[in-house]
Chain A
Amino acid sequence: MKKLVSLFLILVLAFFLTTALDQGLDFWHSPSQLDAFRMSNAFVQNDVLGEGGALVFGESKNLESGSANIVTSIVVDYRSFDTLGEITVLFLSALGVGLLMGSGVRTTLRSGFILKTAAKMVAPLMLLTGIYIFTHGHLTPGGGFPGGSMMATAFLLHYFGSDTVKSNLKPLKWIESTAGALYILLGLAGLFVAGSFLQNFLPTGTLGHLVSAGIIPLVYVLVGLKVGSEVSGIVADFSKTEVVS
């Protein structure tokens, strides 16, 4: 009964929301139709400060943000502070998991020959792919978060594929704290060099080159390392079992 009532109420709410939104909004604007005052418009033009200029891949120089991937520009340049917050969320969740489960004893899994051999070959490749994804975050889809997760998956595979993991988690903890602190330091460098926290103070270079877009690749490398080490830490913590005494 309770379930039926709540289902009914959810349907009413959904109906209200869809009709309400239908009256006031149109989801399917193409960029050229966007109202000029909308923030998304400025983002799509990659021209928030209104300095103008057409974008040509491989030719345009000294752009405002300089990243070929607009999502990356938003995530680690225009709204970099939120990203700092998001990696903090991940950092604290990892710490919470560590606090709750870190006292357990590591269980060892028994794995077959095929898994062992394949893991030895595939894990380094995955690690490399992860690094590729986050170093090219400003050019291609992807970035620090997927790249870091890819690295953590490599760690998970390595863990599954070996009988004895002599993983000392100290370096992981160190990498995550250092990467986080470096992100804040990069922000402070922006404050002292260019005058505002998290400002992009390096030259933005040519659109589409690997070394371009100022601090964006640096930030994404840090985010990638941090996410990778944190998720690996969570994986390692979850592989422990609490000893019931």
Chain B
Amino acid sequence: MITLPLLMVFIPIVTAIIIYMLERKWGNYLVFVAQGLMSYVFLRLILMFPEINEQRYVLGNWTLQSGIALKIDNLSLAFIGLSIFLWWLVLLYAWEFHGDDNKFLFFLLFLEGTFMGLLMVNDLFSLFVFIDIITILSSILVVYKKDGWSLRSGLYYLMINSMGMLTYVMGFLIVYLLTGTLNWDLATHRLALLGHTPPVYAAYILMSASVLVKAAVFPTFNWLSRAHGSAPASISTLLSGLLVKAGLYGFIRIQELFSEQLLGDFFFYLGFITALTGIIFAISQKDIKQILAFHTISQVGIILIGISQIQTDLYYGGLIHLFNHAMFKSLLFMGAGVIINHYKTRRLTEIRGVLKRFPLIAIAMIIGVLSITGTPFFNGYLGKYIIAYELQNRPFFGMLFQLINLGTLISFAKFSQIFFPDTKESLSFTPHLSTLTLTRKERFNLPIFILAFMCIFITFGYNTLGDLLQAEFPSVNLYSTSKMIQWSLLAALAIALTKIFIFSDRITPLLHRIREIKIPFYNTAYMFILFLATMLLFAH
């Protein structure tokens, strides 16, 4: 019973090694066995959960002070549930393309094990080791296609994330020097006794900056659109739906480590800047995967607005949006994967008639679009509702938040043109379509439908999620008429703006210029230094 956390880490890793060494087609079915076992272990954990609030497991029977501890609390348990769920769907989705590729499955399953480790580990250094492994694995999966573009984005991803990890090392070394322990809980306890001294600020700044690089927050967001845009569809799903959250999870943990917000509202502002940057870039894109990738950045900004104020209602708003984002963004990436695979093009202007060709998948994707734009009765509404509700006292930020919503609506109004019927012009780009028949996966794609179901289910069953996170959402009113009217007005405005500006080529040169902004690695590095310096200003 006590070894359950350990099983979570080692079931996928050992299975992955077996698959790698077997190199047989039948060996590949072991991934589903491993997934089944993981789900069973998760069920065991969740059943004993309300009584045992925290489970701690110290490896090697050492003391908490010297050994490495694994700990499961409600936050990590919720993340574990989400990860296992998404890994099921990604495996089902990727089976068609990679079912006979044992190396791909090896990397995928290994990634699951290390991600579980990241969620459970309660140690400053082990967290670094797991983030390290996850970064290397993700970049291998990004370059998996081995074409020029994905190779470059993979290396870019690896370099920027390594840069971030270095500041993490500096930060935790300071924490170690201050507290004399690497254990997360003990360090929390001792840091609270130290008060606000300059070394504490230094450690806080360095550690927060590093996890924010991993979460693709402004100014180091640029790796995300490249990596997520060029990876295979199943990997983009995993990267956008889940692995970006590794950074946000680390951010929450670091806020807990230092017990309070040492930089005031800095991350709150940063969330707005990130969201707006993501939106501006997203509106200018023409590649459907790039649009989705930039929207991951903007949604990360919204989540950061929420979780920057820890232990308030705003925090739970951000947290619930994090879970909802995992659902709808995975759904959209999976759908985009099916579409790109069929049309053999990624350009928004060349894809038409999705609704007619794949009616079921298109409906699921429309559900995803409605969710991400925060439509009432779809799950994106919940988080956005709570955040907007908590911003009532700060009218300026409330307005800014509505602007972000408007931007999301505009760019998805643009995205929705893929559902329009075929035109002669669009057919001329994709002449091969008439000869293609739909494969079974394109007609009935189970993972996509499960995600679409979840997008609606969570809206009405949000209390279940709330129980898991030990949060209550008293402010949520699903049937609020004023919100519905507000949303309809925003949507009408967005459609009008899209029609006036985007479909009519009025600002095409501007969009083109934004689209062509390529931030090279050294500029990102400069901005990262600038970012650290800005945080320093807020500290004093």
Instruction: Give A residues with C-beta under 8 Å from B.
Output: 2, 5-6, 9-10, 12-13, 16-17, 19-21, 23-25, 27, 35, 37-43, 48-49, 77-82, 85-86, 88-89, 92-93, 95-96, 99-100, 174, 177, 180-181, 184, 190-191, 194-200
Secondary structure at the A interface, as helix, strand, loop or mixed, is helix
Q: How far is the CA of A181 from the CA of B180 in the complex (A)?
A: 33
Name the one of A10, A17, A199 contacting B60, with C-beta atoms under 8 angstroms. A199
Minimum CB–CB distance from A230 to chain B (whole Å) comes to 13
Q: How far is the CA of A13 from the CA of B525 in the complex (A)?
A: 14
Name the one of B3, B178, B182 contacting A39, with C-beta atoms under 8 angstroms. B182
Name the one of B14, B61, B197 contacting A196, with C-beta atoms under 8 angstroms. B61
- Asked if residues B126 and A17 are in contact (CB atoms below 8 Å), the reply is no
- Report if A23-B17 is in contact (Cβ < 8 Å); known contacts: A48-B65, A96-B140, A196-B58: no
- Asked if residues A92 and B110 are in contact (CB atoms below 8 Å), the reply is yes
Name the one of B68, B181, B523, B536 contacting A13, with C-beta atoms under 8 angstroms. B536
Instruction: Give B residues with C-beta under 8 Å from A.
Output: 3, 6, 10, 13-14, 17, 20-21, 58-63, 65-68, 103, 110, 114, 117, 125-126, 129-130, 132-133, 136-137, 139-140, 143-144, 146, 151, 170, 174, 177-178, 180-182, 194, 197-202, 523, 525-526, 529-530, 532-533, 536
Minimum CB–CB distance from B387 to chain A (whole Å) comes to 33
Q: List 18 additional contacts besides A100-B146, A194-B61; criterion CB under 8 Å.
A: A9-B530, A16-B198, A16-B536, A20-B201, A24-B194, A37-B180, A48-B62, A81-B60, A82-B125, A85-B130, A86-B129, A99-B146, A181-B17, A190-B60, A196-B59, A196-B61, A197-B3, A200-B60
Secondary structure at the B interface, as helix, strand, loop or mixed, is helix
Interchain residue pairs A-B with the least CB separation, the first 10: A38-B180, A20-B198, A85-B129, A24-B199, A196-B61, A48-B66, A96-B140, A81-B68, A9-B533, A20-B202
| Interface CB pairs A-B, < 8 A, 9 | A13-B533, A16-B202, A20-B197, A21-B177, A24-B199, A82-B129, A96-B140, A99-B146, A191-B6
Task: Using CB atoms, name the residue of chain B closest to A21.
Answer: B199
A6: B residues at CB distance < 8 A: 525-526, 529-530
Task: Using CB atoms, name the residue of chain B closest to A74.
Answer: B66
Minimum CB–CB distance from A61 to chain B (whole Å) comes to 20
Name the one of B13, B60, B103, B136 contacting A198, with C-beta atoms under 8 angstroms. B60
- Report if A180-B198 is in contact (Cβ < 8 Å); known contacts: A2-B526, A86-B129: no
Q: How far is the CA of A190 from the CA of B178 in the complex (A)?
A: 33
A37: B residues at CB distance < 8 A: 65, 180-181
Q: How far is the CA of A182 from the CA of B137 in the complex (A)?
A: 22
Name the one of A24, A78, A99 contacting B67, with C-beta atoms under 8 angstroms. A78
Minimum CB–CB distance from B279 to chain A (whole Å) comes to 27
Minimum CB–CB distance from A163 to chain B (whole Å) comes to 31
Instruction: Name which of B65, B146, B178 has the most chain A CB atoms within 10 A of its CB.
Output: B65
